[in-house]
Amino acid sequence: MKNVFEINFDSLVGPTHNYSGLSEDNIASHKNEGLSSNPKQAALQGLEKMKFLADLGLKQAVFPPHPRPLISALKHFGFKGSDEDILRAAQQADPHLLSAVSSASYMWAANAATVTPSLDVLDKKLHITPANLVTSFHRTIEASETAQIFKSIFKNSSLFTIHSSLFSSASLADEGAANHTRLCPKHGVQGLHFFVYGRSGLPNTLPRPKYFYPRQTLEASQAIARFHQIPATHLFFAQQNPEAIDAGVFHNDVICVGNENILLYHEKAFLDTSEVIKNLKMTYQSLYNEELYCIEVAESKISLSEAVKTYLFNSQLITTPNNKTILITPTDCLESSSVNVFLKELVSTKSPINEVRSLDVRQSMLNGGGPACLRLRVVVTEEELAALPRGIFMDDDLFYSLTQWVKRNYREKLLPSDLGNLDLFYESRQALNELNEILELS
């Protein structure tokens, strides 16, 4: 077993955080369309979560926000002139398009990429594939900027391979780590990679949801596994339950969370859940000669709708340096009697989960993203850790600097109708210029 570290990379919430309801299959996002957001509070809540993880002794790092509104995207729609001219014209001609190119959805770093540690792959390099996010225009525009951020952080090509996003096709729709879970006895052991997909991108007879379009394809997950050189013995694929997708489970991490040798999931998470779990446990047992702890939550205890409403399964499941396993839930879970009862039973029984902690990420939750959505997990060796820039890692000084930066630059109230405001445009650009100096990134 190698001495490795799991880094949680969280994206800073951007100055244009708003509730435009751009994703119909994301129940919270669609339900809260048009409400007033608080970008300052959203960013501060994100920073508090990062600091909480860092104080537990975990490696916590920061991704910068993307520039928004993305003027280059508007140029593809035929808008011309200066940035100011383009912004004014887009606001007048198509406010919905302007909302899309102003979206701060990159804050959900779990969709940024799929990552495979170097100890899991044949060439012994850490592999990263930025997600193409082709099922939603406002997310598709993130791919190129995300790739540039990865290249500015994971610079050493002898240690890291940054792949291009998969070809932008419905057959290769990829939503990143939100549909990928690495299972293993400890982070320093070669992992079993559990990929979950909503549909096949090729003609077939697989069952599909009635209402919502599945985002992740089997072919995308298979392609990433090939590019990352993961041995076939350490791969496991399963299909999402179409009923769950129709209930608002647009990503697997809305209904399932895993960490090391623990998998917490809902009874209706997968197509034929009992068969999936039986085979997954058998595969895990054959690799590691020990049990995978699978904790199933029955529909009779917590309904699909309640799971989506509270984002219980979008909690972060972590292992601290002193080997304590903690489930970090959104505070919304405290407002549900059924979820509260389950969490109390979870820590009072012989469960491998030792503790439950709740954090306030309400601004993100109102747009359909809980604690797990806000982070991307990256397992690195000591050599790889040393090759990463120091300025992105959370500590007391960085927390103070970023908190003051947010307080100086972010608004406390933002409506979708404000997105064409030139003052907001200038404020956002100025904020990102300041941030580059704080994080010491080009």
126-130/160-162 β-pairing: parallel
**Can you list the alpha helix ranges (DSSP code H) found in 228-374?**
242-246, 273-288, 304-310, 337-348, 362-365
Amino acid identity, position 129: T
Catalytic residue among 145, 306, 373, 384: 373
* Residues 28, 42: Cα–Cα separation, whole Å: 16
User: What 3-state class would DSSP assign to 236?
Assistant: strand
CA torsion 341→343→345→346, rounded to 10°? 160
Catalytic residue among 251, 256, 266, 333: 251
Place of tokens 């990256």: 378
Q: Hey, what are 392's tokens? A: 């992105």
- Catalytic residue list contains 333: no
* Residues 241, 251: Cα–Cα separation, whole Å: 11
Q: How does 355-367 read in b/e, with b if 16+ C-beta sit within 10 Å?
A: ebebbebebbbbb
- Catalytic residue list contains 251: yes
Place of tokens 């690799």: 287
CA torsion 92→93→94→97, rounded to 10°? -90
- Catalytic residue list contains 184: no
* Residues in Cβ contact with 82 at an 8 Å cutoff, skipping those fewer than 6 apart: none
Catalytic residue among 6, 142, 145, 175: 175
Query: Which residues are 270's β-sheet partners?
Result: 240
Q: Which of 265, 213, 260, 261 is nearest to 238 (CA)?
A: 265
Helices 422-439, 396-409: axis angle to 10 degrees equals: 170
Residues that are catalytic: 175, 251, 373
